[in-house]
Amino acid sequence: MTALAGRVAIVTGSSGGIGEAIATELAAAGAAVVVNSRTQARAEPVAREIRSRGGNAIAVAADVCDSAQVATLIAAAVEQLGGLQILVNNAGAGLVAPSEELREGDWRRLIELDLTAPFLCAQAAARHMLAAGGGVIVNVASALGHTAMPGRAAYTSAKHGLIGLTKVLGIEWASRGVRCLAVGPGCVATELVKENMRRGGFDERDIERRTPLGRQATPDEVARVVAFLASDGASYMTASHVLVDGGWVGYGGF
């Protein structure tokens, strides 16, 4: 695949799980990729693996909740790889807790990481993209940006907000060449989902029963959709949200 040849992409939170799959997929499609995590030690193995497969990748440590570190992340892409055409806001976290017991600190932490950080990254990336004539921002939201489940007040609020943010940015920047989209995974076979199952009182059989396609997604299935949205194949798409949930939201029950 060469659909993204000549482009530079940042994937936040790409040291594992969906983020790692996205970084790997974008590199396979020809993009030079910035692998990001809070620490260099976590980001570097993924970048090294991409390079071992013939791709172009660097590792950059940055806390995406810190605007100064976000600026450093954007600068690294521009200075070391020659530009920035794609940003994937993947970094995020989950939390399962009864709403009446949800601590204020946990609420603030999740909103900061799952909503404020994507805004900071999108804003910083867009300043470069708008000046350079265009780019694509893909926000990794969730099926819970469309619906809700008990015990997920902070996560669901953040993901609903992220879809709203995607629409605003897509509308604002469309005429200046920057597309903004969101992808909404359902249950994906990652460590985060395993932890949510443990805390949320459900298991893989419940997911299989509840999901029309009868299984969890793989990280690669989400990554392929992100790569498409970042490509010219999706050139008439912006300010919208694509579900990759096996029919979860469409089914509507449990």
pLDDT at 187: 87
Q: What sign does the CA torsion over 37, 42, 47, 53 have?
A: negative
Active site residues: 155
pLDDT at 207: 81
* DSSP 8-state class, residue 216: P
Cα distances from 152 to residues 46, 145, 149, 242, in angstroms, run: 30, 11, 6, 21
pLDDT at 198: 63
Contact 19, 30 (CB under 8 A): no
Pairing of strands 86-89, 135-140: parallel
Angle (CA) 227-154-143 rounded to 5° is 35
Q: Which two tokens stand for residue 215?
A: 């299984």
Q: How far apart are CA 112 and CA 121, in angstroms?
A: 12
pLDDT at 193: 63
Q: How far apart are CA 254 and CA 241, in angstroms?
A: 23
pLDDT at 197: 58
Kindly calculate the radius of gyration of the chain based on its CA atoms and give it in whole angstroms.
17
- The DSSP line for 117-137 is HHHHHHHHHHHHHHHHT-EEE
Q: Edge-to-edge strands of the sheet including 56-61?
A: 56-61, 32-37, 8-11, 86-89, 135-140, 178-185, 240-244
Kindly list the averaged pLDDT for each block of 10 residues, start to end, along the chain of length 254. 93 97 98 98 98 98 98 98 98 94 97 98 98 98 93 96 98 98 91 63 77 93 98 98 95 68
